[in-house]
Amino acid sequence: MTEAEGASDALIVERVGDKLRAARTSVGLDLADIATKTRIPQRHLEAIESGVYSALPSITYAVGFVKAYARTVGADEVELAKCLRTELGQDGESRHIQPDDDIADPARVPPRWLAWSAAIIVILIAVGYGVWRSGALESGPTEIATEAPEPANSITIATPQPKPVAGPVVLTAQDDVWFRIYDKNDKVLFEGVKKKGEAYPVPANADTPMIRTGRADQIAVTVGGQVVPALGPAEATVKDVVLTGPALVARPAPAAAPQAVTTATPSSGATARP
């Protein structure tokens, strides 16, 4: 190898593209990896490594690309940017390009799809506003329905709505009382006498529980702790009265037992007066 060839090779090794290629190879990356990390087109990276800077948009972009490339492979970006200007013969000629000038750094430039998305959104908003404005102008004034005022002396009283009653059904003896509890299949769940004050909770899982008793007025019934109407009038036998919460709440208050009317008849020994 001649001295001229050695000097030429030494000059080539000192090129910025060769330094970047050596740094990239040392960290085990290829150009596709650099392009992905820096968002620089791979053809521009190839031009930098080959030293074909005429393929780049401008010197400013070349500097920015080299600095982004250097950061990715862990090289000194300031030193390589300075070497690039020297290589391009710009040292001392382009004073307006500062060492930290990142105008062309693609990592700080928003991606193209984001810019297009923002433009589309602005257009859609403008079109929607125009449509809304045209509809508002064509519709004309809107008639507002008014209600006739109520008379000054009228008073509106809200009717209280009954609250739904739910919860366990409990029978409490007010006196010694016999009753039988059975389901719709005539299965006896309880039969006997409850002493005064004793309670019987109706099984919640019973299939349509019902009651038979001759002293319905002596049994207090509550659903979820709330008293409901009695199961029947005094001294009257009741049967097949459903003991579920909804059925008991819906029952009307029992009517009072009719009282017998006694008519006095004259005795056979009485003498009728004229």
Q: Summarize pLDDT for 166-198 with one digit per residue, the tens.
A: 789 999 999 998 999 999 999 999 999 999 999
pLDDT at res. 88: 87
Q: 60: how many CB neighbours lie within 10 A of its CB?
A: 16
Q: 65-89: string of b/e by CB count within 10 Å (b at 16+)?
A: bbbbbbbbbebebeebbebbbebbe
- CB of 252 closer than 8 Å to CB of 228: no
Specify burial of residue 117 (Cβ count, 10 A radius: 0-12, 13-18, 19+).
exposed
Phi, psi (degrees; rounded to nearest 5) at 143: -75, 135
Q: 10: how many CB neighbours lie within 10 A of its CB?
A: 9
Strand, helix or coil at 144?
coil
110 or 157: whose pLDDT is higher? Answer: 157
CA-wise closest residue to 231 among 254, 210, 249, 214: 254
Most confident of 101-105, 143-147, 210-214: 210-214
Instruction: Using alpha carbons only, give the angle 155, 161, 164 rounded to the nearest 5 degrees.
Output: 170
240 pLDDT more than 70: yes
Q: Summarize pLDDT for 247-269 with one digit per residue, the tens.
A: 888 888 776 655 544 445 554 44
Q: Summarize pLDDT for 42-100 with one digit per residue, the tens.
A: 999 999 999 998 889 888 999 999 999 999 999 999 999 999 999 888 543 343 333 44
Phi, psi (degrees; rounded to nearest 5) at 14: -80, -5
